[in-house]
Chain A
Amino acid sequence: MNNIAIRVEDLGKQYRLGEIGTGTLSHDLNRWWSRIRGKEDPFAKIGEANDRTKKGNSEYVWALKDVNFEVKKGEVLGIIGRNGAGKSTLLKILSKVTAPTTGRIKVQGRIASLLEVGTGFHPDLTGRENVYLNGAILGMTKGEINRKFDEIVDFSGVERYIDTPVKRYSSGMYVRLAFAVSAFLEPEILIVDEVLAVGDAEFQKKCLGRMKDVSRNEGRTILFVSHSMAAVKNICTTGILMKNGELAFAGTADDIVDYYIANFSEFNPMSKVYIEAKHRPYYANRSIKYESIEFINPSENNYFSTKGAIAILLKLSSIINCDAFRVAFSVNKIDESPVGTFFSEEIFSIRNGETKDIMLSLKDHQLAKGQYYLSFSVGVGNEITGITDYDTVIQTLFFEIAYNDVANERMITLWNSEWGSMNFQNVELR
């Protein structure tokens, strides 16, 4: 039994709500007095499960309560759960930033945590000085950093700027350098929190790759907190699901993601969405914009057959004249992993002040059983002339693919997520 890296036993963390101020001193004295008499903390007994949506009666709340789990050496553990489920609190305790209220964590090996990259970066210091400072904060000695310095700079790709103060860096360069330092840490246990939400796509890929390398080739244990189901599925071997400060479920990474999607996903069964209020993560000038997007023949809960077409009506409006533009859409699985993308030719035109309807039918879609969502964009140009996206809206319509002819379907209900999202129909055999 020597292969356990972390064992969490009855872990609990209590927070006091509201402001610290009046009353703090009296509670402190009360606590101190009962400890002197050898009694239990009078405030540890009260407190409620941490459901932030409900109004509670107690000013104390348990952000974590009775959490038990183990992580084996070399395992990559994904930690998922909604906002406020206790994921970050758990990581904070693991990385010793704050102490637990009850229980204990037994650890075998050195822990390094990346709750945020670039901790301690000083804007006035150069990239080189910051690499040394940040490395030391994360627990490396000067000798270790000396040895890895070239690799770190190489990985970050900011060699040219290494002797420039980091306040002159673009935010992308800053993050690259910061992650590079962290990527070359050599702890036995690495704790990572959502750092992958930064940097451009190419760099994100590099980071994911590095994490995989580290766990697979070097046998490190990794704890990974993420909201991206695709990333958890991709990187992790096992997972735990947190809910209101308690451990809801533990299992393999695939199980945990399926469980999460089945119970917590934000599948929205609306068959028509008005775009105006929709959040846009990317900048777009919206001179041509989406007004609404809807399924033409909606069914209950947006179920579509594995065979047949998905027909969609797009309503666009414009404040410019444009003779040739295109529309595009992409399909993602509900766990965010991408399935495919379509770009039309630039065959549409629109006048200033006009609204335009575009019918779109995805015939013979070949999508496998499962839940998906659609994202749309409208724009002009190509790689040579330069691409302009007028509007991009993500996660608009959600739909589910199901079998409509149960008796004649051989793989009914057996479609395995590992087989992918496409169920090829157009295969010629001789």
Chain B
Amino acid sequence: MQWTEVIATSYTQRQEKQVLVQIAEEKRLTSPPTTSLDDSTQEWTEVIEPRTHLLDLRLGDVWRYRDLVMMFVRRDFVSTYKQTILGPIWFFVQPLLTTLTFIIVFGRVAKLSTDGLPQVVFYLAGVTVWNYFSQTLMATSTVFIANAAIFGKVYFPRLTMPVSIVVSNIVRFLIQFGLFLAVWLYYLMRGGSTIQPNWLMLLTPVLLVVMGLLSLGLGMIFSSLTTKYRDLAMLLTFGVQLLMYATPVIYPLSSIPTQYKWLILANPMSAIVETFRYAFLGSGSFQWAHLTYSVVFTAVILFVGTIIFNKVEKSFTDTV
């Protein structure tokens, strides 16, 4: 075998390769996809850009993915109670035990006023409403961080996630609301109590929607900001607990000294809890002005939240 020749040939092959590379380079230079092509006749279904308009919220996309929202709701339920014996009964256990604790601590030990209402109904009403708000807020505020893995792999309108959380909490609320109704009916039938329900009960769906949107808006703001600055997650965990004491959950608004009432009423949740209690139990304070304040507050928060959320969703995978 003549290896010298082989090596010589291989040298020519190297050269040949160089030629190939050169041809390739030329091809690249001569046929770059230019942007000057006839663009007018082409219709683009979508343009991906660094920045979109602030108000381009793509709510239509969320509607197109409504099946996905329902799928997430279903997943939340099934996965929470798979491999538990009691299953959905756990929905009842939590508010009942909380109410029991409140009765012992605030009713018996601290002897806080309940406006003359049976303590069970009074606390249960507050707990049912507050639970919905706080649980929705806590869940939506971690949307980006908790779903970073899935958000990093596939695109779907990110808003579907917080919206699905709000919906699945509505279902949870309805179950706990059923529990409240049962206890409430028991006291109503037994008679001799101070419970005086009135037509404002019809406002319940409105209250539910306002609460849902308020927690959604706040949750979106927090989840957007925590992608970059984790500090806010710390703030929120105990912030929600503290906020409960700034809401008339364990005490009636009437027991607050007049000069501090504005402080409690500045909290948009106060009017909602008070309205709910007034509607079903007939005691407490209800004013259209207070409720209107909550609604307006919610609308502003929701608007700001949606804008921030939409802005962050485009780049959060880089900063989370």
Query: What residues make up the interface of A, taking CB atoms closer than 8 Å to B?
Result: 1-2, 4, 7-10, 15, 20, 24-25, 28, 68-70, 92-111, 113, 115-116, 119-120, 122, 124-125, 129, 132-133, 136-139, 141-142, 165, 248-251, 255, 258-259, 262-263, 299-301, 303-305, 308, 369, 400, 402-406, 413
Contacts and interface: CB of A to CB of B under 8 A. Distances in A.
B13 A251 contact: no
Given A9-B35, A109-B45, A413-B12, A99 B314 contact: yes
A2 B315 contact: no
B156 A98 contact: no
Interface string B92-115: 000000000000000000000000
Contacts of A4: 42
B261 interface: no
B163 to A, nearest CB: 14
Contacts of A300: 3, 7
B24 A255 contact: yes
Given A95-B155, A125-B78, A137-B150, A100 B49 contact: yes
A114 B260 CA distance: 57
B47 A97 contact: no
Contacts of A106: 42, 44, 46-48
B5 A98 contact: no
B41 A1 contact: yes
17 contacts: A1-B37, A20-B319, A92-B152, A97-B152, A97-B153, A99-B49, A100-B48, A106-B46, A116-B153, A136-B67, A137-B68, A137-B71, A249-B28, A251-B24, A259-B24, A262-B17, A404-B2
Given A120-B150, A133-B75, A107 B47 contact: yes
A35 B289 CA distance: 40
Interface in B254-299: none
Given A94-B48, A98-B318, A406-B9, A120 B228 contact: no
B177 interface: no
Given A7-B35, A249-B25, 15 more contacts: A69-B33, A100-B49, A119-B153, A120-B154, A129-B75, A137-B150, A137-B154, A250-B27, A255-B27, A262-B20, A299-B6, A402-B13, A404-B3, A404-B5, A413-B13
A402 B6 contact: yes
Nearest to A369: B13
B49 A108 contact: no
B135 interface: no
Contacts of B228: 20, 24, 28
Contacts of B25: 249
Contacts of A9: 35
A96 B17 contact: no
A194 to B, nearest CB: 13
Contacts of B17: 262
A97 B5 CA distance: 55
Given A125-B79, A250-B28, A301-B10, A25 B48 contact: no
B48 A2 contact: no
Q: 4 closest A-B pairs (Cβ-Cβ)?
A: A96-B155, A99-B314, A136-B68, A70-B33
A106 to B, nearest CB: 4
Contacts of B70: 142
A182 to B, nearest CB: 10
B318 A404 contact: no
Given A308-B1, A402-B13, A405-B5, A97 B49 contact: no
Contacts of A139: 65, 156
Contacts of B71: 132-133, 136-137
Given A101-B50, A133-B71, A165 B82 contact: yes
B148 to A, nearest CB: 11
A400 B28 CA distance: 28
Given A68-B32, A137-B68, A108 B45 contact: yes
Contacts of A137: 68, 71, 150, 154, 156
A98 B49 contact: no
Contacts of B42: 1-2, 4, 106, 108
Contacts of A101: 50
Nearest to B79: A124
A107 B45 contact: yes
B91 interface: no
